[in-house]
């Protein structure tokens, strides 16, 4: 990681030489950015901890990048979403012994030492529980707590470098959010409690499956096994029919969970969602959740509906009341309405086609200082109770654009977002 800025500087120096040799400035810049971006994701894909956490968070926004940049390392992004280098089996056994006791093997009839999956702070092993059920044993890496915090602090120093390759994305804010969520994600007992609530709330659902927790300790969670392929693989090679259907199911889960279980799943990257052989969508990893006992804020749907009918002044007043616009901040109402395009446009039509071209256009419009809409973003405040909601909403839009899903977002809002109960006519 420390070598990245130096190598980037070296490429810029090499680019200067190429310009002197007759290569256009535009071509040199594109080549330098592509090489550095490729290296960033190769590095992030080879690491665990904070580096992989950041890589997963950024991978959700891959669809905003131009094809010439995203193409060379799209496979690295896919790997970041559902795999990482495994830890030594001796370390796994040590964690199991410390958390389940020296006789931990007695709990299983078999335990596969080869990891089935590895992620940023832990990895999963397949096993057979003592009652014959197939289970997933999630084991946290030794020393993950201190290492993850140290990683994120180190990564914050590279925020400006990363930001250069993600137009419209505040990488430093993402790092701050990740740091704020670290304690919850490292607490497997807390995660197990959240997963139990989701599992009970979705138990027997014909469309979704949340694996039940069989046992949990500080650094180990044992749950029902889930067979299937992740949405990351669907992005890579799914049919359009699959992309449309499971894109809709993905959004519906994120929107419906607050009203069904009083919780928001706050880690929407594709590796946490698996398409099962029976067609259900399985949801994994509940380390990042937001408590919403009353469901999504009612003002959220009301303001969306008002925005769709073009009442800009009322939207501004509503955003002030919710704390999005601080006292004394003035902005042009119609410009604000235009700035909210990524949130409102999908519900403006009966059927919306998510696409990389669309999301790139939105991000370029709202992140380029040369555009009038750009300044709006500097005047908007994000209230604390909306931080994770915003993270999930933005992340889900990015994933849906990677899937290039086509379905009625309007219908999903009408069913699951309070205050948006009635369809809006154009």
Q: Which residues are designated catalytic?
A: 267
CA distance 228 to 284: 12
CA distance 409 to 352: 7
Pick from 79, 186, 102, 101: nearest CA to 139 = 186
Q: How far is CA 295 from the centre of its chain?
A: 20
Residue 272: HSE in the Cβ half-sphere, 13 Å Cα cutoff: 27
**Helices and strands (DSSP H and E) totals, the chain:** 20, 13
Which residues lie below 8 Å from residue 16, measured CB to CB, with a gap of 6+? 28
- Measured from the Cβ of residue 128, the count of other Cβ atoms closer than 10 Å reads 15
CA R_g for the chain: 22
Length of the chain: 426
CA geometry: angle 335, 383, 163, nearest 5 deg: 70
Contact at 8 Å (CB) between 304 and 419? yes
- Which H or E run contains 72? none
């Amino acid at each position: 990681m420390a070598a990245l800025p130096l190598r980037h500087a070296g490429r810029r120096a090499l680019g200067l030489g190429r310009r002197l040799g007759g290569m256009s400035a535009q071509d040199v810049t594109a080549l330098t950015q592509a090489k550095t971006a490729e290296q960033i994701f190769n590095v992030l894909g080879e690491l665990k901890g904070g580096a992989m956490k950041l890589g997963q968070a950024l991978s959700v926004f891959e669809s905003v990048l131009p094809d010439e940049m995203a193409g060379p390392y799209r496979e690295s992004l896919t790997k970041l979403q559902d795999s990482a280098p495994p830890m030594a089996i001796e370390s796994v056994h040590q964690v199991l012994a410390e958390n389940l006791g020296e006789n931990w093997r007695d709990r299983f009839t078999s335990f596969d030492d080869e990891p089935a999956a590895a992620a940023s702070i832990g990895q999963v092993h397949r096993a057979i529980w003592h009652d014959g059920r197939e289970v997933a044993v999630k084991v946290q890496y030794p020393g993950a707590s201190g290492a993850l915090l140290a990683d994120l602090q180190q990564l914050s120093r590279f925020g400006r470098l990363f930001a250069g390759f993600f137009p419209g994305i505040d990488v430093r804010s993402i790092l701050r959010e990740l740091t704020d969520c670290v304690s919850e994600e490292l607490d497997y007992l807390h995660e197990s409690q959240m997963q139990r609530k989701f599992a009970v709330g979705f138990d027997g659902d014909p469309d979704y499956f949340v694996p039940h927790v069989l046992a949990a300790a500080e650094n180990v969670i044992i749950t029902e096994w889930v067979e299937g392929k992740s949405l990351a693989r669907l992005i890579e090679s799914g049919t359009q029919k699959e992309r449309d259907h499971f894109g809709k199911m993905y959004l519906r889960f994120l929107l419906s969970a607050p009203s069904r279980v009083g919780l928001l799943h706050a880690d929407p990257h594709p590796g946490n969602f698996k398409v099962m052989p029976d067609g259900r969508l399985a949801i994994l990893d509940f380390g990042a959740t937001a408590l919403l006992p009353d469901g999504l804020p009612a003002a959220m749907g009301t303001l969306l509906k008002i925005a769709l009918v073009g009442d800009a002044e009322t939207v501004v007043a509503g955003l002030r009341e919710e704390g999005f616009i601080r006292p004394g901040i003035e902005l042009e109402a119609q410009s604000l309405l235009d700035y909210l395009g990524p949130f409102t446009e999908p519900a403006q039509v009966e059927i919306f086609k998510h696409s990389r071209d669309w999301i790139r256009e939105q991000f370029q419009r709202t992140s380029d200082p040369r555009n009038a809409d750009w300044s709006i973003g500097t005047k908007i405040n994000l209230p604390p109770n909306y931080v994770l909601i915003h993270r999930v909403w933005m992340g889900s839009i990015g994933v849906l654009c990677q899937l290039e899903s086509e379905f009625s977002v309007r219908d999903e809002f009408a069913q699951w977002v309070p205050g948006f109960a009635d369809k809006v006519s154009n």
